[in-house]
Each structure stands twice: as structure tokens, then as C-alpha cells.
Structure 1
Amino acid sequence: MHVPDGFIDVPVSVAAGVVAAGAVAVSLRGARRELDERTAPLAGLVAAFIFAVQMLNFPVAAGTSGHLLGGALAAILVGPFTGVLCISVVLLMQGILFADGGLTALGVNITVMGVVTTVVSYALFRGLVKVAPRTRRSVTVSSFVAALVSVPAAALVFTGIYAVGGTTDVPIGKVLTAMVGVHVLIGIGEAVITALTVGAVIAVRPDLVHGARGLSAPLKLRVGGELVDAAPATTPAAASPSSAALPVAARSSRPLLVTGLVTALVLAGFVSFYASANPDGLEKVAADHGIDKKTEEHASADSPLADYGVKDISDARLSGGLAGVIGVSATVVVGSGVFWAVRRRRSETAAPPSAGSAVGGSV
């Protein structure tokens, strides 16, 4: 659902940019409460994983394909504020390096694909989790439903933006029907990917899943022939910042982080070659209804990585695979840098005042 340049007029694009900038600013503050020593690296990995999976277009119907949007997945794994930042990083990397999604439409894309999907999915997810039994299975099922709903919700918001600022005269009723209809089907794929990923992470490290916090069953020990709850271990959140337990917790996350990064690299570098070549939902609707009549050439159309291929490499498999690996690597580096900076800012603001500052700095 990457909106290219030329679909939306300048005033509405600017307005969407303001909304997106405001959402990112709010998310930067909110992410300070969500990120800690364990989840900051995970957030960078989530951004890279979403980048990789977005390269895997899957067929839906009538010559149309779809791909993961990722808002629900990011929000459930690392929190809604951090989730908005994850999707924003992905969209920024795609727009600058790969000419995917217009640069003037970046605000529209962040608003639709980042803010709407994250807010809608997480609000629905939290509501479902509150009324469902507090089990790992309920988290997985709730993530499926939340992801499913988030995709047509994004399509609905895009249609509203197009109704206000569209550059072509197209009957909005037809656009709405087509957009929501095809994105309901795409939402099924989104839901499956989200539920499988959330379920896999919960199975090995439920403590790292933001949406599953507090749902882990206590460890049972057999004492005198009876099962009793083990004493809870001290977690990094409960320990002091200087606790020696923090490096242990950080190391214990490495297997998951390494596995996730390798998976993302394999998906982008190899599996992406077998992705559907059919146009995605927005591209199909735009072509069928004339929305794309005033599409503008991307400002990064001459990028060495434009269209997810490496310039001057003639072998399509090698070119696409290398581009995918570069994209995943760049996204994890940029994303991790952003989240570590946010985490560091949280540590600085939470640090107790020095003795000098406690007395107003006077001597």
C-alpha cells in the first residue's frame, strides 16, 4: 500500500506530513517507557524483519497480490509507540534507498501504514486480551484478529485521504469498495503472518513480547510430591540500572535476536525471489480506476537499489537477493541506532540528580 508521488495533492500531502511528524514525535516520547535493555535490540530486529517480509508479496485474487503492513506485528511485539517508529524507519529506508513509496507521500504512508495500523490493531488487541482468558493462546488469537482488521482500516483511511486530496476525478464509492474489498483479503495474509510470528516469539521468550507481559505462568517446582510456584526471578525492569543482572538478561536475548536476523536475511535475500509479481492491492485499484493517471517519477528512481535490485547486476536472483540483504542490514542498523538513542535518553532522564544538582548547584 505504498502511495507514490502524484496520487495526493500538495496541500493534503503536507497536512499528512504534519500528522505523521506529530505521531513520530509523540512516539519518540512514548517509546522511552516501552524500551529497555532487552527490548531495544528487539525493536531494531522487528523493523528489519518487517522490511524483509514486506518483500514477500503473496497472491490474493484476480491478479492482485498483497504484503505485510506490519503495524499490528510491531505494536504487539514491542509496543504501540515503538511500533510506529519501526514502521516509520522501514518506510523511510524503502523510500530513500529503493524508490518504494513517494518521498512527497512519505507523510501519507506513515500516517496510513504506520499510525493507523498500529493504533487500530493495538487498541483492538488490548480490548480482546482484557476479555479473553489470560493465556498465550489468547494473545496469539487476539493478534490475528487485530492484524486482520488493521489492513482494511488503513485502506479506509487512504480512501478518505484520497477523497480530500486525490489528483484525479474518480468516483470515491468505487474506490472505497475496491480498496476495502481487496484489503480484507490481504488482511487475512497479514493476520496469518502476525499470529505465526507472535506465537513463535511467545513460545521461546514471552517476557520480550510487549502484548504478553504479565501472561506468563509461574514456574512450577515439585516439593514433597506437590507442585508449588517457584519464587519469581528478579527481572531487569525490577532491578536497579546498575544491577549485574542486566548483562545476563541482554545475553539471554541473543539467540532470539540472531535467529530473527538470520531469518530476515534469508527471507529478503532468497525467499523474496519467489514472491508474487502481481501488483499489490493499491496498485491494482489505481490501475483499474485511473487513480494513477498523474503518478510522478520517484525522486530516487536512479538509486542503485531502485525497485529492489542492484544496479549493473544482470542476474535477477542475485540482484534482488543482494538488494534484500542490503535493505535488511541498513534497516537493522538505522533502527537499532534510533531505539538505542531513545533508550539512552530514557536512562538519562531517569537518572537521579547528582549531589551538586540536589542543592541547586551551589557550593
Structure 2
Amino acid sequence: MHVPDGFIDAPTSAVTGVVAAGALAVSLRGARRELDERTAPLAGLVAAFIFAVQMLNFPVAAGTSGHLLGGALAAILVGPFTGVLCVSVVLLMQGILFADGGLTALGVNITDMAIVTTVVSYAVFRGLVKVLPRKRRSVTVASFTAAAVSVPAAAVAFTLIYSVGGTTDVAISKVATAMIGVHVLIGIGEAAITALTVGAVIAVRPDLVYGARGLQQRLKLRVNGELVDAPAAGPVPAATARTQRKLWITGLVTSLVLAGFVSFYASASPDGLEKIAHDKGIDRKAEKHASAGSPLAGYGVEDVSDARLSGGLAGVIGVGVTVVAGSTVFWAVRRRRTRDVSAVSTGV
């Protein structure tokens, strides 16, 4: 659902840019509360994993494909504020390096694919977790539902943005019907990927899943007539660090394999927005991407003639760049939180 340059007029793109910038500022502050010694190392990996899985377009209808948006997955794994930042990092890397999603439309894409999907999915997720039994399976079920809802919600958001600032004269009813219809199907794929990933992490380290925190009641002990939390039972710190390091390495290797090898077998059909834009004429005023001359444009490496090798190298580079960029952002946010906590504790 990456919106190219030229689909939305300049004033509307500017407004969404302001909205995106404000949301990112709020998310940077909110992420300080979400990122701790458990989630900070995971956040950069989540961004890289989303980048990798977005390369795996899957068929949803005749001549149409879909791919993960990632807002629900990021919000549930590392928190909604950090989730917005994760998806935004991915969109920034895709736009600058791979000419995927217009640079003048970056505000539109962040608003639609990062903010809307994350906010909607996490609201649905939290609502379901509160009413479902307090079990791990409930988190997986809530993840599936939240992700499934988030994709058509993004389609509705694009339709609203297009109704305000679309550059072509296409009936908004036709855009809405086509966008929502195909993205309901894409949402099913998004839901499956999200639920499987969240379920896999919960099976190994449930404490690393932000949305699963507080799932189980702490054991209470009566001390001097008062109920207090019993000491948490779990692995010793050294073992915890080892399992977290193993999970991180496994996640990175999986991302590299998906982007570097499996992506070659992804559907070559246009995704939902591309297909609809072509069929309905929304793309009549599409502009050439400012990064079209990038050596990685189109998810291939310039001057590498073998398509399999070119795409695989581009995918590996993309995962590497995204994990470094994401980890740097989240390390800086985490460091800022540590300084703030230190300042409060010392009274500075």
C-alpha cells in the first residue's frame, strides 16, 4: 500500500507530513516508557523483520497480491509507540534506498501504514485481551483479529486522504469499494503472519511480548498480615540473556533468509493499491520517484544481471540497513530514558 508521488496533491501531502511528524514526536516520547532492557534490543529486529516480510507478496485475487503492513505485529511485540517508529523506519528505508513509496508522499505513507494500522490494531488488541481468558492463546487470537482489522482500516484511511487530495477525478465510491474489498482479503494474510509470529515469540519468551505483559497474575504472599507479590519465578539472569540473544540471532537469520532467498518466489502481481490505481486510473498523474536512480531501486542491485542474485542481495542489504537504523534509533531512545530515570533518582 505504498503511495507513490503524484497520487495525492501537495497541500494534502504537506498536512499528512505535519501529522506524521507530530505522531513521531509523540511516539519518541512514548517509546521511552516502552523500551527497557528486554524490548530495546528486540525493536530494531522487529523493524528488520517487517522489512523482510514486506518483500513477500502473496496472491489474494486474480492478478492482485498483498504484503504485510506490520503495524499490528510491531505494536503487540514492542508497544504501540515503538511500533509506530518501527514501521516508520521501514518506510523511510524503502523510500530512500529502494524507491518504494514516494518521498513527497512519505507523510501519507507514515500516517496510513504506521499510525493508522498501529493505533487501530492495538486498540482492538487491548479490548480483546481484556475480555478473553488470561491465557497465551488469547494473545494469539487477539493478535489475529487486530491485524485483520488494521489493513482495511488503512484502506479506509487512504480513501479518506484521496477524497481530500486525490490528483485524479475518480469517483470516491469506486475507490472505497475496491480498496476496502481487496484489503479485507489482504488483512487475512496479515493476520496469519502476525498471529504466527507473536505465537512463536510467546512460546519461547512470553516476557518479551509487550502485549502479553500482565497476562498472568503474580503469586501473592501474606507477610505481616499484608499481601505482597512473591518473587518472580523464572530463569536466572545469565540464562535469560542467553535465550534473548538466541532469539535475536534466530530472528535476524530468519529475516535475512526471507529477504535474501524466499522473496524471489513471492508473487509478482501488483499489490492492492497498485492494481486498483491502474484499473481505476488513480495513477494517471503518478510521478517518477526521486530515488529512481538509486543502485537499489526496485529491490535489485544495479549492474547485477542475475535476477535471483540481484534481488537477494538487495533484500539482505535492506535487512542489514534497517536493523542498524532501527537499533540506533531505539538505543538512543533507551539511553534518553536511562538518563531521565537517573536524573529523577538523583534529584537533578
> Which TM class, normalised by the smaller chain length?
over 0.9
Q: Which residue of 2 is the match for residue 255 of structure 1?
A: 246
Q: Is the 8 A contact 1:66 1:186 kept in 2?
A: yes
Query: Could you tell me how far apart the structure 2 residues matched to 1:351 and 1:344 are?
Result: 11
Counterpart amino acid of 1:316? A
Query: Could you tell me how far apart the structure 2 residues matched to 1:69 and 1:201 are?
Result: 19
Quote how far apart the aligned CAs of 1:233 are: 3.8
Q: Match of 2:60, SS? A: strand
Q: Is 1:316 aligned with 2:302?
A: no
Q: Is 1:146 aligned with 2:146?
A: yes
Q: Show CA shifts across 1:192-232 (max 9, x none).
A: 0000000000000000000001225779xxxxxxxxx9952
Q: Match of 2:168, SS? A: coil
Q: Which residue of 2 is the match for residue 85 of structure 1?
A: 85
Q: Match of 1:156, SS? A: helix
Q: Which residue of 2 is the match for residue 288 of structure 1?
A: 279
Q: Which residue of 1 is the match for residue 327 of structure 2?
A: 336
Q: Match of 2:251, SS? A: helix
Within 5 Å, give how 1:93-112 maps onto structure 2: 93-112=93-112
Q: Show CA shifts across 1:307-348 (max 9, x none).
A: 000000000000000000000000000000000000000000
CA, structure 1 residues 128+353, in 2 after alignment: closer, same or farther (shift >3 Å)? closer
Q: CA RMSD in A?
A: 1.9
What TM-score do the two structures reach when normalised by structure 2? 0.94
Q: Show CA shifts across 1:282-327 (max 9, x none).
A: 0000001000000000000000000000000000000000000000
Q: Which residue of 2 is the match for residue 269 of structure 1?
A: 260
- Select the residue among 316, 325, 330 that pairs with 1:325: 316
Q: Which residue of 1 is the match for residue 3 of structure 2?
A: 3
Identity %: 80
CA, structure 1 residues 284+353, in 2 after alignment: closer, same or farther (shift >3 Å)? closer
CA, structure 1 residues 173+154, in 2 after alignment: closer, same or farther (shift >3 Å)? same
- Select the residue among 284, 291, 295 that pairs with 1:304: 295
Quote how far apart the aligned CAs of 1:251 are: 3.9
Q: Is 1:64 aligned with 2:55?
A: no
What TM-score do the two structures reach when normalised by structure 1? 0.90
CA, structure 1 residues 120+354, in 2 after alignment: closer, same or farther (shift >3 Å)? closer
Gap regions ≥5 residues in structure 1? 220-228, 236-244, 359-363
Query: Could you tell me how far apart the structure 2 residues matched to 1:267 and 1:25 are?
Result: 32
CA, structure 1 residues 253+14, in 2 after alignment: closer, same or farther (shift >3 Å)? same
Quote how far apart the aligned CAs of 1:79 are: 0.2
Within 5 Å, give how 1:19-98 maps onto structure 2: 19-98=19-98
Q: Match of 1:59, SS? A: strand
Q: Is 1:196 aligned with 2:196?
A: yes
Q: Which residue of 1 is the match for residue 160 of structure 2?
A: 160
Q: Match of 2:270, SS? A: coil
Q: Show CA shifts across 1:246-266 (max 9, x none).
A: 776444310100000000000
Counterpart amino acid of 1:296? E
Query: Could you tell me how far apart the structure 2 residues matched to 1:272 and 1:88 are?
Result: 21
Counterpart amino acid of 2:334? R
Structure 1 moving runs of 4+ over 6 Å: 245-248
Q: Show CA shifts across 1:148-176 (max 9, x none).
A: 00000000010000000000000000000
Q: Which residue of 1 is the match for residue 226 of structure 2?
A: none
Q: Match of 1:307, SS? A: coil
Q: Which residue of 1 is the match for residue 223 of structure 2?
A: none
Within 5 Å, give how 1:122-271 maps onto structure 2: 122-216=122-216, 231-233=231-233, 249-271=240-262
Quote how far apart the aligned CAs of 1:37 are: 1.3
Q: Which residue of 2 is the match for residue 242 of structure 1?
A: none
Q: Which residue of 2 is the match for residue 241 of structure 1?
A: none
Quote how far apart the aligned CAs of 1:38 are: 1.7
